[in-house]
Amino acid sequence: MQSAQTLYASLWEKGKELQVLKSISTLIGWDQETYMPKQGIGIRSMHKQYIEALLHQEMTSTHFQEKLSHFIDLDSGKFLSVQGLDDIQKAALREWRRDVVKEKKLPEKFVKAFAKATSEGTSVWAEARAANDFTSFQPHLEGLVKLCRERASYLGYKDHPYDALLDEYEPGMTTKTLDKLFAGLKTFLIDLTHKLSKKSVQADFLYGSFEEKAMLDFDYFLVESMGFQKDTYRLDTSSHPMCLSLHPKDVRMTTVTKTRDLFSANISSVIHEAGHGLYEQGLNEEWFGTPLCEFLSMGIHESQSKLWECFLGQSLPFWTYFYPHLQKAFPKHFANVSLTSFYQAINQVSPSLIRIYADEVTYSLHVILRYELEKALLEGSLQVKDIPQAWNDKMQAYLHISPKTDAEGCLQDIHWSAGLFGYFPTYALGNLYAAQLLDALQKRYPDWNAKVEQGQLLFIRDYLKEHVHQHGRLYTPDELLRKATGHSLNEKYFKDYLQKKYPV
């Protein structure tokens, strides 16, 4: 028993080194987005390359694998010699194995080819989007789709190659499950969108020239109200909002203050990033150095940001409390706008071309469209050259609108150029997880509404920490959800939420 603990301890030491290395890499990325002098980009690339190579090297070191193999069979995942270890330690071993196996499955040659293709891909994509020229991007995308098929083969799958990619972002998720969830959702959302989009509301007061300092002050007020504690986080400005975590006690978010779009680009974004940030802060520090002190999946991460951004941050109780503060912060803009008008403006439902600006009803349709195209590309039932047409057909079918250009159509997102096939569905999953978690929270706190109206948000942070954050990768997403809500993922909670919020 002693020897198992000693061996586990030395594995954990190595795990700490890996997590420290990831944290350093995050710091480097944060600095680049916030304070790096522009011409520092050269040395910055060298920083990144060095750390990434080292991480790969350390992850795949035979030393680490040998230690791990003592406890668990790397091929099958079966525990071998874990007498004396507790369930937490076994879960850590399970997740270490998951990471190592994935890292091992991809040959170094492939990893390099993939990195090269995505690095070139993103820069070609940026030019193609700017020039609205899909054909210049087409050969690169063809190469990337081929590489993603190879990736799926290396990673392995049972039913569908796309499952291998999905599993990278959402462990255990399959096309079979997604097809079922999305089928139930798609017609519902299409129907709701077209019923709601007939209503037009005034929203011009959300746009204009807002004082940057006042925006940042209000952002801080929001973030601290949500439960961030002084000296454990940062909120800086950058050209796009983000959240990076160096450690649960050092979480760094950014907000955009150079914008004329107060709600979407600033307020809503900062609530979104703070939702991500609270998840990172809620991880169990005591497990630092094991995968259990890491977030569970992209879908679960997105559920935390979406829950705060939309389900709470676009709710009437939330703004019943915060709107007077907003009016005080921007008297020129909101003194003569009622809470009702404001609430209607931030919840307007209307089909639009760009995913990131979509409202909470149409948003998931943008995601489902991408999922369907990705799956077809992986299967080979859709050719890259036919993407623009397929995209526009689906936009017409789901949202009744058509992009005039590919730049505002199939070229709008960076993901494909970066090889991130399998990532998009997690955005929609975030909404579904969030709705289901919120339902459980509301059952636990029937008076949640009245609390939020009084600006009490800490009970929400604490609930999410208890049921989601602190567990890290201890459970699978499905286990976590069943423990928290009593059920596996079901799209009905999201549908119920929308139906109640948007009566037609």
Binding a copy of itself by CB under 8 A: which of 4, 12, 29, 31?
A: 31
Token pair belonging to 365: 């349709």
CA dihedral 63, 69, 71, 74 (to 10 degrees): 130
| Cα–Cα distance, 452 to 430 (Å, whole number) | 22
Q: Which residues are bridge partners to 242 per DSSP?
A: 254
Q: How far is the CB of 260 from a copy of itself (least distance, A)?
A: 26
Nearer to a copy of itself, 35 or 357 (CB): 35
Based on the shown chain and the rule CB under 8 A, indicate whether residue 418 belongs to the binding site for a copy of itself. no
Q: By three-state DSSP, how is residue 278 classified?
A: helix
Contact 85/100 with Cβ under 8 angstroms? no
Indicate the residue type of 393. Answer: D
For the CA atoms of 136, 137, 140, 143, what is the dihedral angle to 10 degrees? Answer: -110
Identify which of 479, 355, 422 has the alpha carbon closest to the alpha carbon of residue 147. 422
Q: Please report whether residue 233 would count as binding a copy of itself according to CB under 8 A.
A: yes
User: Which phi-psi region, left, alpha or beta, contains residue 12 (left: φ > 0; alpha: ψ -120 to 50)?
Assistant: alpha
DSSP 261: B
Burial label for 28, CB within 10 Å (0-12, 13-18, 19+), is middle
Q: What is the 3-state secondary structure (H, E, C) of 336-404?
A: CCCHHHHHHHHCCCCCCCCHHHCCCCCHHHHHHHHHHHHHHHHHCCCCHHHHHHHHHHHHHHHHCCCCC
**224 contacts a copy of itself (rule: CB under 8 A):** no
**Can you tell me which of 4, 7, 20, 401 binds a copy of itself, judged by CB under 8 A?**
20
- Residue 207 φ then ψ, to 5°: -115, 145
Q: What is the DSSP string of 130-157?
A: HHT-HHHHHHHHHHHHHHHHHHHHHH--
- Is residue 213 part of the contact set for a copy of itself (CB under 8 A)? no
C-alpha pair distances (Å), 484 with each of 460, 463, 464, 466: 14, 10, 9, 9
* Nearest approach, Cβ of residue 426 and a copy of itself (Å): 27
CB of 214 to a copy of itself, least distance (A): 17
- Does residue number 216 form part of the binding site for a copy of itself (CB under 8 A)? no
* Interaction of residue 357 with a copy of itself, rule CB under 8 A: no
Q: Which of 39, 62, 76, 209 binds a copy of itself (CB under 8 A)?
A: 39
DSSP run (H or E) holding 236: strand 233-237
Answer for which of 163, 168, 170, 250 binds a copy of itself (CB under 8 A) is 250
Q: Which of 95, 168, 273, 360 is catalytic?
A: 273
Q: Which two tokens stand for residue 188?
A: 């519902």
Q: Which is nearer to a copy of itself, 36 or 390 (CB)?
A: 36
- Is 13 among the residues that bind a copy of itself (CB under 8 A)? no
**Is 273 an annotated catalytic residue?**
yes
Rounded CA separation 227/378 (Å):
42
Return the SS3 of 488: coil
Binding mask 288-327 for a copy of itself (x = CB under 8 A): ----------------------------------------
Residue 51 touches a copy of itself, criterion: CB under 8 A? yes
Question: In this chain, which of 4, 7, 24, 74 binds a copy of itself, going by CB under 8 A?
Answer: 24
Instruction: Answer yes or no whether residue 124 interacts with a copy of itself by CB under 8 A.
Output: no
Q: Find the binder of a copy of itself among 4, 7, 33, 36 (CB under 8 A).
A: 36
Q: C-beta of 47: minimal distance to a copy of itself in Å?
A: 5
Q: Is position 113 an interface residue for a copy of itself (rule: CB under 8 A)?
A: no
Q: Which amino acid is at 463?
A: Y
Of 45 and 136, CB closest to a copy of itself: 45
Nearer to a copy of itself, 233 or 493 (CB): 233
- For residues 282 and 248, give the distance between their C-alpha atoms in angstroms, rounded to a whole number: 7
Residue 135 engages a copy of itself in binding (rule: CB under 8 A): no
Note whether 9 binds a copy of itself by CB under 8 A: no
Stretch that binds a copy of itself, among 17-25, 116-124, 186-194, 334-342 (CB under 8 A): 17-25
Q: Is 249 in the site for a copy of itself (CB under 8 A)?
A: yes
Q: Which of 17, 103, 408, 453 lies at the binding interface for a copy of itself (CB under 8 A)? A: 17
Q: Does 70 sit near a copy of itself (CB under 8 A)?
A: no
Identify the residue among 8, 11, 15, 47 touching a copy of itself (CB under 8 A): 47
Tell me: does residue 42 bind a copy of itself (CB under 8 A). Answer: yes
253 vs 377 by CB, closer to a copy of itself: 253
- The verdict on 84 binding a copy of itself (CB under 8 A) reads no
Q: Which one of 24-32, 324-332, 336-344, 390-398 is the stretch in contact with a copy of itself (CB under 8 A)?
A: 24-32
Residue 337 makes CB contacts below 8 A (sequence gap 6+) with 205, 327
Which residue in the block uniquely carries the two structure tokens 């991500």?
276
| Residue 234 vs 482, nearer CB to a copy of itself | 234
Using the contact rule CB under 8 A, the part of the chain among 47-55, 324-332, 403-411, 439-447 near a copy of itself is 47-55
Active site residue ranges: 273
Return residues touching a copy of itself (CB under 8 A). 16-17, 20-21, 23-24, 27-28, 31, 35-40, 42-44, 46-47, 50-51, 231-234, 236, 246-247, 249-250
